[in-house]
Structure 1
Amino acid sequence: MSQPTPRVRETLASLRAAQKSSSGAPAYSRFVNRPIGRVFAAIAFSWGRTPDQVTAVSALFTFAGIAVVALVPPTFASSLLVVALLVLGYALDSADGQLARLRGGGSARGEWLDHMVDATKMATIHLAVLVCWWRFFDIDAALLLVPLGFQVVGSVFFFGVILTDLIRRTGAGGTTSKAAFRTSPLYALLVLPADYGLLILVFATLWVPWLFVVLYTALFAVNALILLASVYRWHRSLRPTGAAHA
C-alpha cells in the first residue's frame, strides 16, 4: 500500500488537532469512525472537495446500503456488501464535518444538509429491515413490530439529541453533567449499543435470519432503555439555574 502524500500527512496532523469534543461519543464512532473519516477528510481536502460534496457521497453509499437491505435477498455476500456500504457512508458522514472544520468552519446550509441526510437515514434504515423481514424471513408476524419500534426509538433519540443541543446553543439553560466521565473510554463502551456503528456491524449477520433477529431485537431493547435514561438526563440538564433547588 502506498504511503500518504506529504500534503495528506500534513492535513491529517491538522485534523487531529482540530477534533471536536469526544464527550458522549460511543466507542465505534469515537475510536473507529472518526479516524477513518479523518483520512477521507484529508483526501477530500487534498482533492479540493467541499464538505457538501462529501455529504452527497456519504448519502450515496448509505442509501445504497439501505436499499440492498430492503431489495436484495440476504446472502453472505449481500450482507458484507451492506456493511461495506454503510461503513463507508458513516465514515464519510464524519469526514464532512472534519473537512468543514479544517476549512475554517462549516456553513448553515452544510449543517442543514448533514442533519437532513442523517434524519432520512434514521427514517429509512429500520423500515428497510421491516421490508427485508416481511419479504425474505420466515418469522412470526408479531416480530415485524420490532423494526417499527426501533424506528420510533431511533427517530426520537435523534430528535432529542438535536433539540437538546439546539437549546443549549441558544443559552436557554442547561449543561452536560459529569463531563469528565462522558469523555472516558468506559463511558464510550457503556453507550456502545446506541452507536449507529454497532448497528451497521450487526448487518453482517443478515444472511443468518435467526441470529440477525436476535441481535437486532436485543439492540432495540437496549436502545429503548438508553432512550428513556437519556430523556430523563436531558430534561434534568435543561432545568433553569434558578430552579436547581426547587
Structure 2
Amino acid sequence: MTPNQVTAVSAAFTFTGIVLLATARPSLPLGIAVWLLLAVGYAWDSADGQVARLRGGGSPAGEWLDHVVDSTKLVTLHLAVAIGAFRFFDLGSPLWLLVPLGFAAVSTVTFFGMILNDLLRARHGVSQAAQSGGSSPLRSLLGLPTDYGMLCLAFVLWGWQAGFMVVYTLLALAALAFLALALVVWFRKMDSLA
C-alpha cells in the first residue's frame, strides 16, 4: 500500500465512528464499536508515516493529506459528540453542549500550534532532532489525559450518559490545561528563534 492509501483506510475507520456518534442512538455496543473504529483508525494513521519511511520517504502531498485528515478528524469528532448529545442525551440544560464545542476549539488550536511550531522551527534551521524535548515516565503519565487514545477509549461510555459526560468533560479540561501551559512554552521557544 502507498502512504496515501494507508491514510484513506485510517480515514474510513475514523469517520465511520464519527458519523455513528452523530447519527445512532447511544448504547454500550455502539460505544464499543466507536471506540474500536477510532482506535483502528488511529493505528492506521500512525502507520502511514512508517510506510512512507519504508518506501524511501514521503511526499509533501502525502504529508499535507495526513495533516488535513487529522485536523478534520479532531474537529468533527467533537462536533459529532455535540450533535449526538443534542439528539439523544437528556441534557436538562443545553449548556453542556459548550463542552464538545470548546473541546473542538482546544483541539484545533493545539494541533495548529504543533504544526506551526514545526514549520517555524524548520524555517529557522532547527533540526528535527533538536526539536524533541525528551520524555520521562512522569511526563508520559501527566500527558495521558490529553492522549488521543484515551479520548477514543472514553467512547466506551457513550451508552452511559452521565459517565460519558463526566469523563469527556474531564478530558476536555485536561486538554485545555495542557494547551494553556503549552502556549507559554511554545511562545518562549518561538521567541528564542528571533
**Shorter-normalised TM-score: what interval?**
over 0.9
Give the C-alpha shift of residue 173 in structure 1: 6.3
Give the C-alpha shift of residue 169 in structure 1: 1.1
Matches within 5 A, 1:50-199: 50-139=2-91, 140-171=93-124, 176=131, 179=133, 182-199=134-151
Give the C-alpha shift of residue 240 in structure 1: 3.2
8 A contact 1:193–1:222 mirrored in 2: yes
8 A contact 2:22–2:80 mirrored in 1: yes
Tell me the TM-score normalized by structure 2: 0.94
Measured in 2, the distance between the counterparts of 1:153 and 1:240 equals 25
Measured in 1, the distance between the counterparts of 2:140 and 2:123 equals 27
For residues 26-55 of structure 1, the C-alpha deviation after alignment (integer angstroms, 9 at most, x for no partner) is: xxxxxxxxxxxxxxxxxxxxxxx1111000
Q: Which amino acid aligns with 2:116?
A: L
For residues 154-181 of structure 1, the C-alpha deviation after alignment (integer angstroms, 9 at most, x for no partner) is: 100010000011111112669648x3xx
8 A contact 1:126–1:151 mirrored in 2: yes
Measured in 2, the distance between the counterparts of 1:107 and 1:238 equals 26
Spell out structure 1 runs of 4+ moving beyond 6 A.
none
Q: Which amino acid aligns with 2:120?
A: I
Matched position secondary structure for 2:191: coil
Which residue of the other structure, out of 215, 223, 230, is the alignment partner of 2:167? 215
Q: Which residue of 2 aligns with 1:205?
A: 157
For residues 180-199 of structure 1, the C-alpha deviation after alignment (integer angstroms, 9 at most, x for no partner) is: xx322321221111111110
Sort the Cα spacing of 1:171 and 1:130 in 2 relative to 1 into closer, same or farther, 3 A: same
Measured in 2, the distance between the counterparts of 1:142 and 1:206 equals 19
Measured in 2, the distance between the counterparts of 1:104 and 1:227 equals 34
Gaps of 5+ in 2: none
Q: Which amino acid aligns with 1:82?
A: V
Provide the identity percentage: 49
Gaps of 5+ in 1: 1-48
8 A contact 1:65–1:85 mirrored in 2: yes
Matched position secondary structure for 1:73: coil
Measured in 1, the distance between the counterparts of 2:125 and 2:181 equals 22
In the comparison of the two structures, how many residue pairs are matched? 191
Give the C-alpha shift of residue 222 in structure 1: 1.2
Tell me the TM-score normalized by structure 1: 0.74
CA RMSD of aligned residues (A): 1.6
8 A contact 2:27–2:158 mirrored in 1: yes
Question: Where is the helix percentage greater, Structure 1 or Structure 2?
Answer: 2
Measured in 2, the distance between the counterparts of 1:102 and 1:172 equals 26
